[in-house]
Amino acid sequence: MTSPEPGRPDTRGGTGAPGDAPGGVDASEAAEDAAVTLAAPEGFALPDLGGVVAGARAVRGATSDIDTVHLDTPDRALARVGLALHHRRRGARETWTLTSPAAPAQEVPGPADRPPTALVAGLGSAAGELRRAARLSTTRRRTAVTGTDGAPLATVDDEQVSVFEGGRVARRVRRIGVTAVASAPSGTLAAVVARLVDAGATLGAAPDDVSLARASAEATARLIAASGASGDAAAVERTDAASGPASTPGLASAGGDVPAEDRRAGERRGDDRSAGAGSSAPAGPAGPAEVLGSALASAVGALLRAALAPDEDAAAFVARRSAAGRLRSLLTGFERLLDTARTTPLVRELEELDRLLAPVTTIDAAAGHVEAALADPLLADLASGPSLRRLVVTERDRVVGRYRKARADHRFGALLDSAVRLAVDPPIDPAALR
């Protein structure tokens, strides 16, 4: 089972080309673990994940602490071109990672004193100007979800991230990472996510470590600029240096991060230095991508709640058809702004779902009309009344049976899993927004 780094976004999101696999899911995607990350509020309580799919058990694992230092030049040359260089320490394991928008991430084991030559060789003059840009500490609590035979189905990582600026905790972020293994039944990812969303997690992109580090570096740069204007720039630099030296070569000697036990103690006592802890930095006006992404996440959340709810009453089927129609309308109505390679297969599956749900909602509406008619005193004594009721019940059992048979099929679970990946990693085409 693969385990994504803290806050690493899912890169496998989306559906494949039509016909690649049942449900429109790309065969290569179906053969890999699927990972998504949800945002969660402070105080979020991880729900019991036992029984999230038939026979599943949830086993709480160990807690681990992960300390990360991100490097960049004073003028943020790496961030400007989409690169990110960081050192991560988890227990005795230390790793340097260089990420690029145009290539797979490169990882090299090594201590924190200086980045490996293999990673900085292509950075040119920037390699000699690298300094600490941001510092993050993550406490991860892992839960394993297993099947009746003990085989792994999914892991859920509950992460509390502390973002340090100038030697203090400037922000805390709670996020929940979900990884469903490739061999798990289709729909496992959606079922786990639905349980988490029901408990208060947010279906939508949670900030990953790189975005948190970049926001922190920008905030620190603004703080230094403002202090410089008032003659206190040196004081800001001294404050930052208190948590570790500014230049790369001395990184290891300062440790780079607040020890985990000290960090947790500070969080327990509500450290007053944690300005803004537990809240996001002030957000500017939402752009088109954010608005559309939020609408897609909301529609997928409604679909999950409706699809995974008990279906004994008519309202459940109406809610399912409404939620599926809402998501389909967003995907087709904003088609010009979306990556259709990902959305078209999902739209087709939503249309097929509507064909299964329509007969149920139709017969339920007809049943309501029959009951209203039989409630009329002039018709109440009709001998055909019981026959009409039996006819309605028989027909409803037939169409609901068709729906339940489809729900048990791989395609239904794959549809929900694909919808979850779409909500967390919206398939918005940046070029179309220009």
**129-133, 159-163, 393-397: which has the highest mean pLDDT?**
159-163
Distances 287 to 13, 284, 325, 430, 433 between C-alpha atoms, Å: 22, 9, 25, 12, 10
Helix H or strand E segment including 134:
strand 131-146
Residue with tokens 């009453």: 313
Q: Is pTM beyond 0.85 here?
A: no
Nearest to 273 by CA among 173, 133, 171, 138: 171
Check residues 318 and 240 and name the one with the higher pLDDT.
318
Q: Would you say residue 154 has pLDDT above 60? A: yes
Supply 402's token pair.
Answer: 């068709």
**C-alpha to C-alpha distance for 320 and 195, rounded to whole angstroms:** 17
Domain assignments of the chain as residue spans, ordered by start: 33-268, 288-433
Side-chain half-sphere exposure of 97, counting CA atoms within 13 A: 21
Question: What's the CATH fold of domain 33-268?
Answer: Hypothetical Protein Pfu-838710-001 (2.40.320)
How remote is the C-alpha of 420 from its chain's centroid? 8
The strand order across the sheet containing 84-90 reads 34-40, 168-180, 152-165, 131-146, 57-72, 84-90, 93-100, 103-109
| pLDDT tens by residue, 30-42 | 457 788 999 999 8
Q: Which residue has the tokens 């580090």?
A: 213
Joined tokens for residue 132: 């600490």
- Give 380's contacts (C-beta < 8 A, 6+ positions apart): 374
Q: Which two tokens stand for residue 106?
A: 């490169």
Predicted confidence band at 325 (pLDDT cuts at 50, 70, 90)? very high
Q: What percent of the chain is predicted at pLDDT more than 70?
A: 74
Express each pLDDT in 361-407 by its tens digit: 998 888 887 777 767 666 555 556 677 778 888 888 898 888 888 88
